Structure 1
């Protein structure tokens, strides 16, 4: 089996304890030599400053390529581009450009009167600067706001045509979900890399609730498997096996890159990577 290229997603810490956990996560996963790591942006732009601080700290102290999430939510065009240029000045040239989730309690996304109306506008403006390598989100299942799968794919193509170089997908539970999407995207003329987003199942109940909110299909067999594993106290073993098998199938079907949503808990992701043949290659630099 071909060894995949990997990348990881982290989220910014909100307190001191979480800061230590983030750095521990970086230390555990950095030796696997990821292509890049990304740092998320909270709903409604709530972690804007935390994201910037985490991105700059990881960039400065780890030697890793860091991609900063950037959204259109609750900011003017000038403010958003100022944040982007701040990343550039700090030496961070990779951005994951997203429309972003609305603030909690909102019924849907509403563009700032002086802001970007959508992710395509944001991507185009970032591309015009010439300063960034831009990645975008993709949805292997129909986005909750898309009319159908074709509209879903057409919007992805528009984002890539606006200047993005790669798409990172929402997580899913069965490899066929991604493979169907990949093939449909290729049929629509998309030739940029589409990297599957992989969510190792640390706690099934929490992941299940998250999946339901995201509109991700939940196969009946996985519910049944985790119910039985919980009774036998083998949930971690099951989670490792399910995720490793899914990744192996994707690799056998020609997928060369995997993007792991770590949730800042690195051990399960590390074990799955090891099972896929991704072994430590580099040592993390000392913190300055």
Structure 2
């Protein structure tokens, strides 16, 4: 028989009306992918997330699709949608034109990122000679154009191009001091990395929310590949859990659900009340995580 105290301890989110979630999507490239995209959006919208965001391809390659998706999400579901924005390979005037287009479309949330060069993640970044120099510069530019709600990126394991932790935290502080409302972290799988990162930020005087980015593992092979490109580590214990499951989708899904549940419940116990979930345009694991966090669909 389950002890009543243990049962109560497993339901912390039920007593947290302040708990917030947000979801991230990417623009679909085909009609089939778009159908799946909208199916996922409509399944997650009843959870009333704070916002959902739609990514922005390298060099603005998905700009029009991002604008279309974000505009329609807000119109169809009533959920606030945030458009990603980068400053790679573009002049200030070109970026500003995109921002004004977002504003004219009624989009007031932006995820402002420096972005990766066309050569890929980890390659040296060279600002456009007439462009924004970095994410902090981009945030300041957004603030000059309008009263946007701005999210920026944070890196619990340090950005691959940061020379030291002092440089890393100083960069985060400059983005927030420029006018960003919050930071959304890159995916991580060791909560200790996130908690240490937050400690470093608070010690530097940063008070803005640092929202953990949670990556459900829909495909361990794909996530491990992406992690290796963006500087996120895969702990040995995590790799061991998924070993041999490439051809066992049902077991893979069960393990993925358990891993994500462990991560968010531990963060809840640490007092975290905001979560940003990377969906990969899929709903099952995102829905499961929301339920674990105490979120239920609103009719």
Are residues 1:204 and 2:204 paired? Answer: no
User: Could you list the runs of 5+ residues in structure 2 that have no partner in the other structure?
Assistant: 1-11
Q: Within 5 A, what are the aligned runs for 1:6-85?
A: 6-85=21-100
SS at match of 2:150: strand
Shift of 1:43: 1.7
SS at match of 1:29: helix
1:70-116 CA distances to partner (integer Å, 9 max, x unpaired)? 11012111111111111111111011101011114694322222111
Aligned to 1:161: 177
Shift of 1:229: 5.0
Are residues 1:150 and 2:159 paired? Answer: no
Are residues 1:99 and 2:144 paired? Answer: no
Distance 2:221 2:46 in 1: 30
Distance 1:155 1:191 in 2: 14
Distance 1:105 1:98 in 2: 15
Distance 1:177 1:215 in 2: 13
Aligned to 2:194: 178
Distance 1:109 1:215 in 2: 15
Distance 1:201 1:178 in 2: 18
Are residues 1:249 and 2:266 paired? Answer: yes
Q: TM-score, structure 1 length as denominator? A: 0.94
User: Could you list the runs of 5+ residues in structure 1 that have no partner in the other structure?
Assistant: 283-288
Distance 1:105 1:161 in 2: 28
SS at match of 1:246: helix
Contact 2:59/2:90, CA 8 A, preserved across alignment:
no
Aligned to 1:258: 275
Contact 1:200/1:262, CA 8 A, preserved across alignment:
yes
SS at match of 2:158: coil
Aligned to 2:133: 117
Distance 2:223 2:106 in 1: 34
Distance 1:91 1:268 in 2: 30
Q: TM-score, structure 2 length as denominator? A: 0.91
Mark the CA change 1:239 to 1:91 in structure 2 (over 3 Å): closer, same or farther.
same
Shift of 1:59: 1.7
Aligned to 1:223: 239
**Segments of 4+ in structure 1 off by > 6 A?**
none
Which structure has the higher relative contact order (CA within 8 Å, separation 6+)? 1
Aligned residues: 282
